[in-house]
Every structure is written in structure tokens, then in C-alpha cells.
Amino acid sequence: MLFGAIAQMAFFAQAGAIEVDGDVAAVRSQCLEFIRLADGGERRVVGEYIDRVVRVDGQWLFAERAYRVLMG
């Protein structure tokens, strides 16, 4: 199990760009992860989410989500 190898983790996300077209929006956000592994190792990862969200009954919901590592 992936999370069994993780002793501690901090996750910080920042919205980058939001483009709204009616009830659909394209959202790009970046994240920074600090990971301390159970074996004592540490990792830092910078990633990016590319999302498509839709408004349903006044609430914005994820329709698609893609993630990629920018720096690892």
C-alpha cells in the first residue's frame, strides 16, 4: 500500500488559472508535497492539476482531473 510507506506528508495547493465559460470551467493548479517516508527518506514533489469542473445546481463539481509531476 502506497500510504503505508509514508510517515508524514504536507500538501500545499495554489490555484493558477480559472477560465469560466457558462457552467463549465477549466482550472489549473500547482501543488507542493513534502513527504517523509517510513524508512527515513524524504521527497519533495511539485505537481500540476488540470481540471474541468461543471456547475450543477449551483455547485462546482469535478468532471475531469489530470495530474502530472513537474519536478520530483
pLDDT for 4: 79
Q: Strands, DSSP E only, in 1-72? A: 6-21, 24-37, 42-56, 59-71
- Number of folded domains in the chain? 1
Is the pLDDT reported for residue 5 higher than 90? no
pLDDT for 2: 67
Look up the CATH number of the domain holding residue 18. Answer: 3.10.450.50
**What pLDDT, in 10s, does the model give residues 21-67?**
999 999 999 999 999 999 999 999 999 999 999 999 999 999 999 99
Residue 39 backbone phi and psi in degrees, to 5: -85, 5
Which residues constitute the domain of residue 62? 2-71
